[in-house]
Amino acid sequence: MKKLRNRLYVALLPLQLLLVGLALWTFFLLANLDALVSDAKTTHEEFAEVLDEALFHLHELSILVEMTAEVDGHSLRDDISRSHRDYLKAVETVGQNPHAQEAERMPQLMSMNDQIGPSLRKMLAQLNDPFIASQRTELLMLCQRAENLLEGLSTAAIDELLNLQGAFRERISQSFAVLAVGILLGVFGTLLISRQIGRMILSPLEQLEANLDDVSRGNLDVEASLNRQDEIGQLARAFNLMVGRLREYRNLTDQKLLTTTRTFRSVLERTPHAIIFLTSEMKVFFANPPAGALLETAEFKSDLPEPLLKFAQDALESRDIVVQDRLQEALRINVASQPMYFLVAAFPVDLVDTGNNDSSGVDDEGVALLLQDVTRMKLADNLKGNVVATVSHELKTPLTSARMSLYLLSEETIGPLNEDQRELVDTAKEDLERQLATIQNLLDLSRIEQSDKRLQRETCRANSIIEKSILAHRDLANSCDVNLIAEPAEDDPYIEADSKGIEIVLNNFLSNALRHAPADSDIIIQTITRGDNVRFAVCDQGPGVPEEQLEQIFERYAQGEDSRRHGSAGLGLHISKEIIEEHGGQIGCESVLGQGSNFYFVLQSVPNPNNEPSTEINHAN
C-alpha cells in the first residue's frame, strides 16, 4: 500500500499548499487590518481631544477679550494671559499629532498664533487707552480666523478617517476576491483530484467489485485485466489467482459432489424406511420409494395425516430434531385399512433445486420425516406383554393360595409346630412373598408398557402421598427395627400426577430402603419445594450404592450385590423410572458407600386448587 499512499499524497499536495497559503495570507491580512484600524482610531480620538481643548481655550480667550469692553480690563489681565498660555499649549499638542503634521492648515494656524500673541500684548498694554476698541476688534478677528483653522483641521481629520475606512473596505473587498478565487481554485482542484483519484483507484475497484459479484453468482470464468504495478495491480493478480484456484477446486469437487449425490440418492431409495421431504408449506418435495408407496394409499393421497404434520411443524418451528425413541410412543396410522405403527423422526433441512424431475424445484427451508415401520415390533411387544401378564396372573393365583396355607400353618391354626417346622414355614413364607412381589412388579411393568393412557392425572397433595407410603410400610419397619421419619414440606405443595403411580414409586423406594437399612437406623421420607418443583426423597443409612452403578440400577433387571443377596428381581427401580419419566419428571440416586443412599424424584408443582389448609403428618414412626 506504500506506493498507492504516496501517489495520493502527491495528488493532494497542491490542494494542501493552496489551502495553507490562503490560511496564512488571511491570517496576516486580518492581523494587519486590525492593527491599522486600531491605530487610526486611537490617533483620531487623541487628535479630536486636543482640538477640542484648543478650541475651548481659544473660545475662552475671545470671551475674555470681549469682556474688556464692559468691565475694567486690569481685572481680566491674568485670566486673559492664562487662557492664552493654555491655548498655545493645546495648539502645541495639536501640532505634535500626525494628522496635524500632514495637514496644510497647521502652518497657517501657527502663523495666526504668531499674530495673536503681539496683538494680545499690545491690547493689554493699552487697556487705559480710549482707542483700545480698534485693537480689541483686530484681536477678535485673529481669534476667529484661528478658530476657523482649528475647525478646518477637525474636518480634515474626519475626512482622513473616512478615507481610511474606505481603504479598509477596499482592502476587505480585495480579501474577499482573493478568498473567492482561492476557493474556486480549491473546488476546481478538488474536482480535478477527485477525478484523478477516481480514475486511479475507484474505477479499478469498481471493476474488481463487478468481478467479485460475478464470482459470487458462480461465474468463475471472469478475470481482472488491470496491468498495474501498484497495490491495486497486486490485488487484481491475487483475485485472478483466487479465481483460478476456485476453478481448479470446482473441477476437482464436481466429480466428488456428483458421486456423493448419487450415493445419497441411492441410500434414500434403498433404505427400508420411508423418508419424506416437505416444504415450509407442508407440500411434498421428495419421497423415496417406501414413502412413495405410502403416499399412494388412500390415507396419504389427499394429505399427510395430522400427527405427521404436527411433527413436521414442530421441527420446522424449533429448528431442531423431534424424534420418537420409545416403542410405546410409536405412532399408529391406518394404511390400507390396516393399523401400522411408526417411530417418527423430524428434522429441519434446506431444500435446494437440483433440476431433478422428482422435486418441485424450489429453494426453501423444509423438514424431513423419517418413518420407521415398527408394526411387527409393536405386535411382538404387545404379545410379549400379554404373555407376561397371563403367565404372571396364572402364577399369582396358586401362589396366593399357597401363601394363605403357609399363613394358617404359621398361626398354628391346624396344629402346633415344632421349632424346625416353624423355621421351614417362615423360610417358605419369605420366598413366597418375594415371588409374589416379583410377579406384581412384572404385572405393573406389563401394564405400564402396554397401556396407551396409563396416567390418570389428578391434583393431589405431595405430603399426603408420603403419609400413605409411611402407613403402608409401618408394620414392616417395626419388624425390621427401623424408624420411619417424615419431613414434609412446610408449604404443603400440590402436584398434578397419577397418585397411584407415585405411590408405587415411593413404595419401591421404601421397600429398597427397608431391605438394606440396618437395625436401629432411620429412614427419612421428605418433600422439598424448590422453585416450581417438588422433590420427593427417601434417605437411608444402608451400605450405599457404588458410583459406577448409580445409573445402572434404574435399568431393567439391574441388581446390586446387596440386592442379589436379598433376592430382588431388579424391576422396582426400572418401573419407578418409567412412571416418573412418563410424568415428565427426573429420577436419580445420590449415594456414598458406607453412609447410605438418597433416592429421589422431582415433579412440577401446581397451585392449591381449593386453598385447603395443610394437614399435619406424624413425623416419626
DSSP states of 321-375: -EE---GGGPEEEEETTEEEEEEEEEEEEEE---S-TTS----EEEEEEEEEE-H
Q: Specify the higher pLDDT residue, 34 or 454.
A: 34
Output the pLDDT for position 608.
Answer: 83
Beta pairing class for 482-487 and 521-530: parallel
Looking at the predicted structure, is the pLDDT value of residue 6 above 70? no
- Retrieve residue 604's grid coordinates: 412440577
Its pTM stands at 0.42
Mean pLDDT value across residues 282-294 = 81
Give the pLDDT band of residue 134 (cuts 50, 70, 90). confident
Burial of 282 (0-12, 13-18, 19+ CB in 10 A): middle
pLDDT number for residue 119: 80
Q: At what angle do helices 231-270 and 203-216 cross, to 10 degrees?
A: 10
Which of 129 and 550 is assigned the larger pLDDT?
A: 550
Confidence (pLDDT) at 57: 78
Cα separation, 26 vs 30, in Å, equals 6
Tell me the mean pLDDT in the region 144-160: 77
Q: pLDDT class for 561, splitting at 50, 70, 90? A: low
What are the CA-CA distances from residue 519 to residues 498, 538, 561, 566 (Å)?
33, 17, 19, 15
What is the chain's alpha carbon radius of gyration, rounded to the nearest angstrom?
Answer: 60
In this structure, which CATH number among 3.20.20.150, 2.40.50.140, 3.40.50.11810, 3.30.565.10 belongs to the domain 456-606? Answer: 3.30.565.10
The CB-side HSE value for 54 (13 A sphere, CA atoms) comes to 30
Lowest mean pLDDT: which of 38-47, 122-131, 321-330, 357-366?
Answer: 357-366
Residues 292, 277: Cα–Cα separation, whole Å: 11
Of the two residues 169 and 370, the one the predictor is more confident about is 370
Confidence (pLDDT) at 419 = 81
What confidence tier does 486 reach under pLDDT thresholds 50, 70, 90? very high
Helix (H, G, I), strand (E, B) or coil at 604: strand
- Comparing 540 with 405, the larger pLDDT belongs to 540
Fold of 271-373: Beta-Lactamase (3.30.450)
Q: How far is CA 562 from the centre of its chain?
A: 55
Contacts of 283 (CB under 8 A, 6+ apart): 360
CA distance 468 to 460: 12
- pLDDT for residue 160: 72
Partnered with residue 536 across adjacent β-strands are 527, 601
What was the pLDDT predicted at 564? 45
CA dist., res. 66 & res. 80, Å (int): 11
Residue 81: exposure state from Cβ atoms within 10 A (0-12, 13-18, ≥19): middle
Helix axes 105-125, 132-197, angle to 10 degrees: 160
DSSP annotation of 391 reads: H
pLDDT of res. 524: 94
Q: In the Cβ-directed half-sphere of 197, how many Cα atoms lie within 13 Å?
A: 15
Quick check: 606 and 586 in contact, CB under 8 A?
no
- In this prediction, residue 75 has a pLDDT band, given cuts at 50, 70 and 90, of low
Higher pLDDT, residue 238 or 524: 524
**Rounded to whole angstroms, how far apart are CA atoms 201 and 195?**
10
- What whole-number distance in Å separates Cα of residue 86 and Cα of residue 437? 143
**Which candidate, 414, 411, 315, places its Cα nearest to that of 370?**
315
Hey, how many other C-beta atoms are within 10 angstroms of the C-beta on 470? 22
Residue with cell 412412571: 579
- Looking at per-residue confidence, does 53 or 3 come out higher? 53
* pLDDT (tens digit per residue) in 184-228: 777 777 777 767 666 666 677 777 777 788 777 777 777 776 676
Task: Output the nine-digit C-alpha cell for 470.
Answer: 409411611
Domain ranges of the chain: 34-173, 271-373, 380-446, 456-606
* pLDDT, mean of residues 248-276: 77
Give the mean model confidence (pLDDT) for residues 280-296.
80
- pLDDT by residue (tens digit) across 155-192? 777 777 777 777 777 777 777 777 777 777 777 777 77
Indicate if the alpha-carbon torsion angle 563, 567, 568, 569 is positive or negative. positive
Residue 398 CB coordination number (10 Å): 9
Closest by CA to 539, choosing from 577, 596, 483, 482, is: 596
Tell me how far CA of residue 206 lies from CA of 138, 191, 215, in angstroms. 98, 19, 14
Distance, in Å, from the CA atom of 361 to the CA atom of 354, rounded to the nearest integer, reads: 7
The answer to whether the CB of 224 falls within 8 A of the CB of 240 is yes
DSSP letter (8 states) at residue 558 = -
Q: What is the pLDDT of residue 487?
A: 93
* Domain spanning 34-173, CATH architecture: Up-down Bundle (1.20)
Residue 353 has pLDDT above 80, yes or no: no
pLDDT at 484: 93
Residues 412, 413, 414, 415, Cα dihedral to 10°? 30
DSSP per-residue codes, 233-264: HHHHHHHHHHHHHHHHHHHHHHHHHHHHHHHH
Candidates 184, 239, 247, 189; CA nearest to 221 is: 247
Per-residue pLDDT at 585:
92
pLDDT at 357: 45
What is the C-alpha separation between 599 and 540, in angstroms, rounded? 9
pLDDT of residue 363: 61
Separation of first and last alpha carbons in the chain: 88
pLDDT value of residue 358 = 47
